[in-house]
Amino acid sequence: MKQGFDTVLKGGRVIDPATGRDGVFDIAIAGGRIAAIEPSLEAQGAGTVDLSGKIVTAGMIDTHGHVYQHVTGKFGLNPDMVGVRSGVTTIIDQGGPSCMTLGGFKHYLDGSSKTKLYCFISAYLVGGLEGHMYPDLYGPYGVNAEHTVRVAKENLDIVRGVKAHAEIGGQSRWGMEVIKIGKQISKELGLPLYIHLGQLWPSLEEGPVPDPDELIRELVPIMEEGDMLAHPFTRHPGGFVSEEGEVHPIVFEAIDRGVRVDVGHGSHFSFEVAKKVLDAGIKPFTLGADMHGFNVTVPPEGLEKDVRESNPFFGAAPFNLTVAMTELMTLGMSMPDIVATVTQNPATVLGKSDELGSIQVGRAADISVLDLLDGRFKLFDNSGVEVVTDKLFRPVMCFKNGEKFEADSPLIPPPVLA
């Protein structure tokens, strides 16, 4: 008879693609770790949590966060609002910290957050400083490969990749030079390069008009196995879908070589584009929410009209990681595949499959609990397209190293009933 449990999670549907487990199980937690997983466990005096009718997964990992609060301007959200208070136990900040600012991220933010934080270090000296408003900060002269490699090597406990942008606004200014430097950094580190796709900055008025299709044809040969392409479902030029409305053949070549696809939802989600990409047989490997201060809140009054109109992030519909999971389900992805995009697969990206992404005895008790609501719910993409679904994922709670957190974040959007 098992004894010494602190908490027993009773009767939830445990879905763990890493082990193939899918069924109703009890999970015992002791000393912050998973002590037992059985069809039925006696509490033995421990506290119990009734999870009947709930979905229980390994602690969810958001592969595309912007949580360098206070340092990246309006971009950076509170990490625990995006993390444990939204049912997410681990976040990868994509490009917020740079070689100049990583120390603050590691020692002040990661050290004080209940959510575990990793980052893909920015290829740019300025990191994620509201770069969509200041494109001139993101040229080749704003990159120092040697400094970035040195700082990253000193902090490999938290740096797990490199972030750069490939989009036609930058291409019109600098060609592919920054991407090549970003790839040089990632090769020297032996870490993946994560590439933003979809137009971010206005193209220069002088000079030839960039060809968004040529951008991806030039980009893909630079990338290697384990590198990541973000925003496959973007409606902005320079993504997976050509101006003729077809998925670029070279994208399939990249995936065949082992390049991975991260949804990177954010302000880059179109139902129309997503259907084309999924119907073409491209399945995302990971599902990053890409929430930041410009796409989960209404822009403050008083901003100049031209800034509002030039910023593609303003006016996006509210969303979070579980809304993005719902959208994938509505588009036909299976439950195990969706769960894998926020558990097993991002753990692989982090190189932490032996620690994260699976519910196994002896591991840290990182566990997420979800509802799958029945009804009629409205979903909205960034183009304003409305889709009605009969299922909706909602975060309920999570456990980080055995500590319980209710999903009470104000960033969780309320259901919109149809």
Q: Taking the domains of the chain in order of start, what are their residue ranges?
A: 7-57+363-406, 59-350
Instruction: Return mean pLDDT, the chain.
Output: 91
- Asked whether the predicted pLDDT for residue 306 surpasses 90, the reply is no
6 labelled binding-site residue: no
Q: Give the CATH H-level superfamily of domain 59-350.
A: Metal-dependent hydrolases (3.20.20.140)
Structure tokens, 372: 């799958």
How confident is the model over 347-368, as a mean pLDDT?
98
Query: Which sign does the torsion angle of CA 265, 309, 247, 217 carry?
Result: negative
CA distance 210 to 306: 23
107 labelled binding-site residue: no
279 labelled binding-site residue: no
For residue 307, what pLDDT band results from cuts at 50, 70 and 90? very low
66 labelled binding-site residue: yes
Indicate if 59-350 has the same CATH topology as 7-57+363-406: no
268 labelled binding-site residue: no
The model's pLDDT over 144-184, given as tens digits with 9 standing for 90+, comes to 999 999 999 999 999 999 999 888 878 888 888 999 999 99
- Asked whether the predicted pLDDT for residue 22 surpasses 50, the reply is yes
Residues of the chain with pLDDT > 90, as a percent, come to 72
Least confident of 63-67, 156-160, 210-214, 406-410: 210-214
Whose CA is closest to 118, among 401, 291, 350, 290?
Answer: 350
Structure tokens, 93: 């900040």
Is 198 within 8 Å of 167 (Cβ atoms)?
yes
CA distance 295 to 279: 27
Q: Give the CATH H-level superfamily of domain 7-57+363-406.
A: Urease, subunit C, domain 1 (2.30.40.10)
Q: Is 363 left (phi over 0), alpha (psi -120 to 50) or beta?
A: beta
248 labelled binding-site residue: no
The model's pLDDT over 62-99, given as tens digits with 9 standing for 90+, comes to 999 999 999 998 889 999 999 999 999 999 999 999 99
Distances (CA, A) of 77 to 27, 63, 108, 304, 325: 32, 15, 14, 23, 20
Model pTM score = 0.93
Predicted pLDDT at 207: 66
Least confident of 38-47, 271-280, 289-298, 345-354: 289-298
